Amino acid sequence: ETGVTQSPTHLIKTRGQQVTLRCSSQSGHNTVSWYQQALGQGPQFIFQYYREEENGRGNFPPRFSGLQFPNYSSELNVNALELDDSALYLCASSLGGSTSYEQYFGPGTRLTVT
């Protein structure tokens, strides 16, 4: 079990609403990545934050945004929710700048958009 935690565990939203998901990284890790995993698919990279700055982004529209705080915890915000946003959202923490780049994943937040 990793030290990465995510909240909430499950969430149900209506199309058009906004949602904020939260992630606490493993102690000592300064990098947080967010992934979206649709049913039956592998996780897809959304973006990464390194020392509070966005440091790479996948093929996701601007309505997916994020923040990283001084304690390296992070938020994922999704505006104008669409039905296709229903997925498991995973965050992963790692120690950027080191020679060890294993990412440690949290248990995920299951988002359902109706």
Partner 1 sequence: DAKTTQPTSMDCAEGRAANLPCNHSTISGNEYVYWYRQIHSQGPQYIIHGLKNNETNEMASLIITEDRKSSTLILPHATLRDTAVYYCIVRPNYGGATNKLIFGTGTLLAVQP
The binder of partner 1 chosen from 7, 97, 112, 114 (CB under 8 A)? 97
108: left (phi over 0), alpha (psi -120 to 50) or beta: left
94 binds partner 1 (CB under 8 A): yes
d(CA 51, CA 67): 10
Beta strands in the chain (DSSP E): 5-7, 10-13, 19-24, 31-37, 44-50, 53-57, 64-68, 74-78, 87-94, 104-105, 109-113
Q: Which is nearer to partner 1, 27 or 99 (CB)?
A: 99
For residue 18, the tally of other CB atoms under 10 A from its CB is: 11
- Contact letters (x/-) for partner 1, 21-60, by CB under 8 A? ----------x-x-x----xxxxxx--x-x----xx-x--
Residues 59-88 interacting with partner 1 (rule: CB under 8 A) = none
92 binds partner 1 (CB under 8 A): yes
Residues at the contact surface with partner 1, assessed by CB under 8 A: 2, 4, 31, 33, 35, 40-45, 48, 50, 55-56, 58, 90, 92, 94, 96-99, 101-108
